[in-house]
Structure formats: structure tokens, C-alpha cells
Amino acid sequence: MTVGRPKYLSYGRQFLDDNDIQAVVDVLRGDWLTTGPTVQLFENKLRDVVNSNYVTSCSSGTAALHMAYMALGLGQGDRVIVPAISFIATANGAEFCGADVFFTDVDPDSGMMRARDVLKLINDLTPEEVNSVVAITMVNLAGEVAEIEAISVIARQYDWKIIIDSCHALGTSYQDSKGVKRSVGDCSFAHMEVFSFHPVKTIAMGEGGAVTTNDKALYEKLCLLRNHGMERDPDKWVSKSGTPPPWYYEMQLLGYNYRQSDIHSALGVSQLNKLPSFMETRQRLMAKYDELLAGLSDYIKPISTTDGCSATRHLYVVLIDFEAIGMSRINFVAALAACNVGTQVHYIPINAHPYYLEKYGELNRPGAEQYYARALSLPLHVSMSEDDVIYVVDQISNILKGL
């Protein structure tokens, strides 16, 4: 089936309707612009969606990662293990704290850290280096779930704290090894999980992020870190000298202004209300891509999926054997752009960026290199139709036929 050329299809974008706009307008007409009742509403709603005990929302996924690393007290001399494939913020958050990172390799077909990659890294490190590790951060890439149970077993053996970067996986659920259905974000196998609500993600807040946890002490620390380390609750004040004046608050640790606003949260609440329909649409479009791309499987395949996982992807990543098709990725991307099909690459291995290259030198991470050499994200967003998916796959077929 051939369908007409749509207007430019970006690889990802937000879907907003009149209810979203009205929700923001209502807040703009109210008394609170920054952290007020709508932030609380958003946090309660997200907590119910992901099934964690606590949620601290904040200004971005990057802020969420930084806060999570700060909440663990990371500092100079500490190390965090991260996968070589992720958005740079996964590693940067640890570096903001003055800590260093170790990069594991990843599965070349999913882009995700496996238990065997962690064991290989441990094997390559000196005992002192292993001792310096404070935390490990897994990434649930492109809506799939990493080997979180197996990796959490290793982490517990070494007494590492566990963070899961779930910025890509809001709405994903999976079965654990006991057959229990779990939501990404419920922190069953992590101390904290981290989300982003950037417009290309599953829900959009403009900018926004959150940390989920089941640990009350971590939650309380995250709330302080988000707001300059300021404690307003008299019961928690350090100073006990006399009756404090009414304007009194205490700065108990060095925090940031990573607050979420009521304006953003209004959009977040309204978008969370649509999450079930967003999930349904994204899964339908994913299934259409899967079905149509099966005919091109000699050259193109979707990233591998995790058993027992019902993924909600905000990205539809395919792996293309550019050598086998005899066309460079640059030319392939340009040919698709000429047909109004936008693409992006998620991600360049983090260790290959100049900052990390200069700091840690060249690393041999063959799985990450194989993944990166083939990865391309095709358009996937809620305003797309199945015809748009047919159009994208038709254009890919035409490019392949023309070779």
C-alpha cells in the first residue's frame, strides 16, 4: 500500500490538546506559579502511575539525576557505574558531584547494560577501583527494561546503591522473575528511579523531571536538595535556640533551585491523564512498524525487546546494517529527510564525547560501538497515524530498492 507524503515527521514531538492548554491557563489565572498545590497534585498522580511510595518532581531529568547522585552523598574519589550508551546526563549527574564514572559495555542489539557487562567491568578493575564504586545506574533505554533484577543482585553483593534512569520508560510494565507485574518507576529493584518530561518523551511538561523512591530518608533529602537545602519544618530544624522568628528557615545542606513550577505541573497532570491513551497509540504504531519492517529484516531490525516487558516507547529505534546496504548513515538520513522523514541517533557512546575521552581515554566498548554504528530513531509520536508509519517504511523500501 502506498500513502501520500505527509508534512514533515519529526522523530519525536509532544501531543497537546485544548485540555492541556486550559489546564495551564487555569494555573496562570490562579495564585501559584511556582511550587504550589499543582506540583503536589502532579507528584501524587505520578506516584499512583508508577506505584512508588514517594515522588520528588523537579525541573528536568538532568536535575533529577543530579539530585539522586547528591542524595547518595557522592563526592570526589567516588565512582558510579553507567552504561556507555545513554544520554550524556546519565553520566554527567555524577560528574557534577565531583565523582567519576566507569562505563560498562552494552548489548549491541538493545543498547542496554547487561549483568555480564557489569561482571566484565568488575573483572577489569583493580580491587581499589571496585571499592570506590558507590552506585550503579542502569538505563531503561527506548522504553525497554534493562536486566535490572540480575544487575541489582550484583549491586547488592557489592553494597552499591542502585539508580535506574527511566527517562525513556514512563508507562512501561514488566514481569519480574517471580511473575509479579511491576511498573517502571516503582523502585522494586532500585533506591531511586529518574524520569524526564521533555517534549519528545512519553508525556511533555516543557521541561520537567522526577525522582521516585520508596525510601523516606532519601525522599526528604531530595526535597531539600531541590530547594537550596532549605528546611521549613520546625520539627526538623537543627537550631533549637529559643523561639525562632516567623520568617525563620534553615539551610541544612547545599541544594539547588531545581524546583518544578505549578505551570509545568498543570501540563504534567493533564498529560498524565492521557497516559493510557498515549500508551495505546504508541504501542499500536510500534506494532505497525514491527509488522512492516519484518519485510526488510535482512537489512533493518528493531532493537531487541525484553521478555515479559510491555514497553511504551517514545523512540522507535531500528538497527540498520549500513555496510550491507552499501549506503552511509549520513546519506540514508539525508534521503529520508528529503522525503519529510526526520530521524535522530540515540546515542553516541558517552565515553566517545571529547570531555570523557580526555578524562578517561579511549575505551574498548565493542557492544556500544556496534549499537551506535547501526542505530537510527524513526518518527514515533502520538499525532502520527498508521498511514504515516506506512509512509516511512515505504520511503525506506524505496531507498533500499534504489541502491
Ligand X SMILES: Cc1ncc(COP(=O)(O)O)c(C=O)c1O
Binding flag, residue 274, ligand X (CB under 6 A): no
Stretch that binds ligand X, among 1-9, 87-95, 172-180, 300-308 (CB under 6 A): 87-95
d(CA 320, CA 196): 27
Stretch that binds ligand X, among 5-13, 112-120, 165-173, 331-339 (CB under 6 A): 165-173
Does 196 engage in binding with ligand X (CB under 6 A)? yes
Instruction: Count the neighbouring beta carbons within 10 Å of the beta carbon of residue 348.
Output: 15
Nearer to ligand X, 271 or 395 (CB): 271
CB of 145 to ligand X, least distance (A): 13
Count interface residues toward ligand X (CB under 6 A): 14
194 in Cβ contact with 179 (< 8 Å) = no
Closest CA to 222 of 11, 64, 328, 92: 64
Q: Does 262 bind ligand X (CB under 6 A)?
A: no
Element (H, E) at 133: strand 133-139
Residue 83 in grid coordinates: 552504561
Give the helix/strand (H/E) hosting 102.
strand 100-104
Check: CB of residue 11 under 8 Å from CB of residue 378: yes
Which one of residues 56, 86, 261, 377 is an interface residue with ligand X (CB under 6 A)? 86
Burial class (CB in 10 A: 0-12, 13-18, 19+), 159: exposed
Torsion of CA 104, 107, 113, 119, to 10 degrees: -60
Which of 13, 168, 182, 191 contacts ligand X by CB under 6 A? 168
Only one of the segments 37-45, 46-54, 164-172, 212-220 lies at the binding site for ligand X (rule: CB under 6 A); that segment is 164-172
90 belongs to the binding site for ligand X (CB under 6 A) = yes
* DSSP symbol at 203: S
143 near ligand X, rule: CB under 6 A: no
CB closer to ligand X out of 196 and 343: 196
With 0-12 / 13-18 / 19 or more C-beta atoms within 10 angstroms meaning exposed / middle / buried, residue 204 is buried
253 in Cβ contact with 226 (< 8 Å) = no
Residue nearest ligand X by beta-carbon distance: 61
- Shortest spacing between CB 86 and ligand X, in angstroms: 5
- Distance between CA atoms of 402 and 33, rounded to whole angstroms? 55
Least distance CB 122 / ligand X (angstroms): 23
Longest dimension (CA), the chain: 82
Query: How far apart are CB 244 and ligand X at their closest, in Å?
Result: 37
Q: Which region, judged by CB under 6 A, interacts with ligand X, from 59-67, 170-178, 297-305, 350-358? A: 59-67
Does residue number 139 form part of the binding site for ligand X (CB under 6 A)?
yes
Among residues 165, 193, 369, 388, the one that binds ligand X under rule CB under 6 A: 165
For residues 207 and 12, what is the distance between their CA atoms, to the nearest angstrom?
A: 15
CB 387 within 8 A of CB 288: no
Place of cell 516511512: 392
Q: Does 202 bind ligand X (CB under 6 A)?
A: no
Measured in whole angstroms, how far is the alpha carbon of residue 23 from the centre of its chain? 25
Residue of 14, 62, 183, 265 that binds ligand X (CB under 6 A)? 62
Residue 281 in the binding site for ligand X (CB under 6 A)? no
Nearest distance from C-beta of residue 170 to ligand X, angstroms: 11
Q: Does 265 bind ligand X (CB under 6 A)?
A: no
Which is nearer to ligand X, 61 or 108 (by Cβ)? 61
Contacts to ligand X by CB under 6 A: 60-62, 86-87, 89-90, 139, 165, 167-168, 196, 198, 209
